[in-house]
C-alpha cells in the first residue's frame, strides 16, 4: 500500500488502514475458502456468522442493554428521516434544530404528523446549541442530531427525555453514551463505522407497538429486526466492514479509549485556533459545545483560505474545504484519524499564521 494521507473528509471518511486491509483480504478470499465475503448469500452460514458477530460486538462496545434491537438498513440517514416518523410518530413529535440535517429531519417528519420545532439556532448560522426550550408533554418523541457535521457544534450534554431519538451519524461510537437513556439511536456508517450505503439503528423494542399497519414490511422496523435486517438483500460487504471496524475499536481499548483520543485530537486543533483568534475565527461561539468530530473555522480572506488548503494538500492533508454553503475550513477528525494527523494540521496552522499573519 502506498503512503496514506491524512484525509479530513466529512464523509465518506477515512477508515483505519487495518480495517481496509482486512476487508480487502476478505473481499478476495474469505477465510481461505476460495470466494470473497461479498460473493456469499446473505442467508448463508458465512453471513449468519458475520451478522451474529457484528451485533455482539456492537452490544459489547456500547453496553447495549436487553430490550433493544440492532437493525441495519440501506438508503442513508436521510431516508431514515422519513422512515422513523412513518413508524413511530403518533400525533406530534418534538425536534430541536441545530443544523442542516436536523432541519431536514424535522421537515421530513411533517408528512406523518405535527412537528414541534422547539428551538432552532438557524438565526445565528447554527453557531450554538439552542437553550430555553421545554418538551411538549404529549409528543411522541424528542429528536436531536447529536453532532452538527456542517457547522461544528455538538450536544456535550444530551437532553433527557423518556423517548429520546438521536441521529448520531457523525459521532457513532466516538464517545461513550448511556444507551438506556435513548429510545432510538441511528446513523449512517460513512463517518466513524464504515462505508457509505449502510445505516445502523439501535431500537428500543417497546416502540414497535406504535407502528401502523400501513407501513410496508420493507420499512417496518419490527419486521426488519425480526428478520435480522434481511427482509431483502442488505449491503453485505458494508456490514462486513463494520465488523472489522468493531474489531479494531476493541483493540484500541473500546469507546472510552477512543473518546479520550478524540478529545486529545480536537484539543490540538482548537488550541491552534484559540492561539490566534484574529486569524483563525472559529464558527462556533458556544465553546462548551464545540464538536470533537468536525472542527470549523475561517481565515481572514477567501484567498488565504485557498492558499491554506493548497499548502496543506502538499503536506499530505486533504479534504479540508468547508461545506459548500458555509465555506472556510472543516477538519473532520473521526475515529480513524490518528493523533499525528491533527498534530500535523495544528503545525500547519501555526506555520501558515507565521508566514501570512500580520507582521
How does pLDDT run across 302-352, given as a tens digit for each residue? 999 999 999 999 999 999 999 887 889 999 999 999 999 999 999 999 999
Hey, which CATH number is domain 254-356, 3.90.1150.10, 1.10.630.10, 3.40.50.720, 3.30.450.40?
A: 3.90.1150.10
Annotated catalytic residue, options 86, 101, 155, 248 = 101
Ranges of CATH 3.90.1150.10 domains, the chain: 254-356
Looking up cell 480513524 gives 336
Give the integer Cα–Cα distance in Å for 57 and 257: 16
Kindly state the DSSP code that residue 323 receives in the 8-state scheme: P
Spatial contact of 328 and 319, defined as CB atoms under 8 Å apart: no
pLDDT of residue 302: 95
pLDDT of residue 326: 85
Give the integer Cα–Cα distance in Å for 19 and 290: 29
Query: DSSP labels for 27-40?
Result: HH-STTSSS-GGGS
Give the integer Cα–Cα distance in Å for 337 and 313: 16
Annotated catalytic residue, options 191, 248, 265, 321 = 191
Give the integer Cα–Cα distance in Å for 77 and 101: 9
Annotated catalytic residue, options 167, 228, 286, 321 = 167
Q: Is the pTM of this model over 0.85?
A: yes
**pLDDT mean values, one per 10 residues, the chain (359 residues):** 88 97 98 97 97 98 98 94 98 97 98 97 96 94 97 96 97 98 98 97 98 97 98 97 98 98 98 97 95 97 97 98 90 98 98 88
Give the integer Cα–Cα distance in Å for 38 and 315: 36
The fold for domain 17-251 equals 3.40.640
Q: Is 101 a catalytic residue?
A: yes
pLDDT of residue 229: 97
3-class DSSP assignment, residue 184: strand
Ranges of CATH 3.40.640.10 domains, the chain: 17-251
pLDDT of residue 45: 97
Distance of CA 42 to the CA centre of its chain: 26
**97 backbone dihedrals φ, ψ, rounded to 5°:** -100, 110
Neighbours of 213 (CB within 10 A): 5
Q: Is 271 a catalytic residue?
A: no
Amino acid at each position: 500500500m502506498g503512503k496514506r494521507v491524512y484525509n479530513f473528509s466529512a464523509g465518506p471518511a477515512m477508515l483505519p488502514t487495518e480495517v481496509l486491509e482486512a476487508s480487502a483480504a476478505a473481499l478476495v478470499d474469505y477465510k481461505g475458502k476460495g470466494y470473497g465475503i461479498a460473493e456469499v448469500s446473505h442467508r448463508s452460514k458465512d453471513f449468519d456468522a458475520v451478522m451474529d458477530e457484528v451485533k455482539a460486538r456492537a452490544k459489547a462496545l456500547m453496553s447495549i442493554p436487553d430490550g433493544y434491537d440492532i437493525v441495519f438498513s440501506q438508503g442513508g440517514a436521510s431516508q431514515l428521516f422519513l422512515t422513523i416518523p412513518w413508524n413511530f410518530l403518533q400525533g406530534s413529535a418534538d425536534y430541536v434544530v441545530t443544523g442542516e440535517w436536523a432541519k431536514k429531519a424535522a421537515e421530513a417528519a411533517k408528512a406523518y404528523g405535527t412537528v414541534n420545532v422547539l428551538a432552532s439556532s438557524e438565526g445565528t448560522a447554527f453557531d450554538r446549541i439552542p437553550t430555553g426550550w421545554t418538551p411538549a408533554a404529549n409528543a411522541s418523541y424528542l429528536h436531536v442530531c447529536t453532532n452538527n457535521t456542517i457547522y461544528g457544534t455538538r450536544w456535550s450534554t444530551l437532553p433527557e427525555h423518556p423517548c429520546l431519538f438521536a441521529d448520531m451519524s457523525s459521532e457513532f461510537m466516538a464517545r461513550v453514551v448511556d444507551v438506556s437513556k435513548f429510545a432510538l439511536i441511528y446513523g449512517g456508517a460513512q463517518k466513524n463505522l464504515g462505508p457509505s450505503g449502510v445505516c445502523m439503528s439501535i431500537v428500543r423494542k417497546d416502540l414497535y407497538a406504535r407502528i401502523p399497519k400501513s407501513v410496508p414490511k420493507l420499512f417496518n422496523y419490527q419486521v426488519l429486526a425480526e428478520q435480522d435486517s434481511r427482509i431483502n438483500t442488505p449491503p453485505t460487504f458494508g456490514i462486513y466492514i463494520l465488523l472489522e471496524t468493531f474489531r479494531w475499536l476493541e483493540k484500541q481499548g473500546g469507546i472510552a479509549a477512543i473518546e479520550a483520543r478524540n478529545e486529545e485530537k480536537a484539543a490540538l486543533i482548537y488550541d491552534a485556533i484559540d492561539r490566534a483568534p484574529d486569524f483563525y475565527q472559529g464558527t462556533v461561539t458556544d465553546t462548551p459545545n464545540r464538536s470533537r468530530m468536525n472542527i470549523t473555522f475561517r481565515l481572514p480572506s477567501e484567498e488565504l483560505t485557498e492558499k491554506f488548503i493548497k499548502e496543506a494538500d502538499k503536506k499530505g492533508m486533504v479534504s479540508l474545504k468547508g461545506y459548500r454553503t458555509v465555506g472556510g475550513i472543516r477538519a473532520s477528525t473521526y475515529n480513524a484519524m490518528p493523533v499525528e494527523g491533527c498534530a500535523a494540521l495544528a503545525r500547519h496552522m501555526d506555520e501558515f499564521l507565521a508566514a501570512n499573519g500580520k507582521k
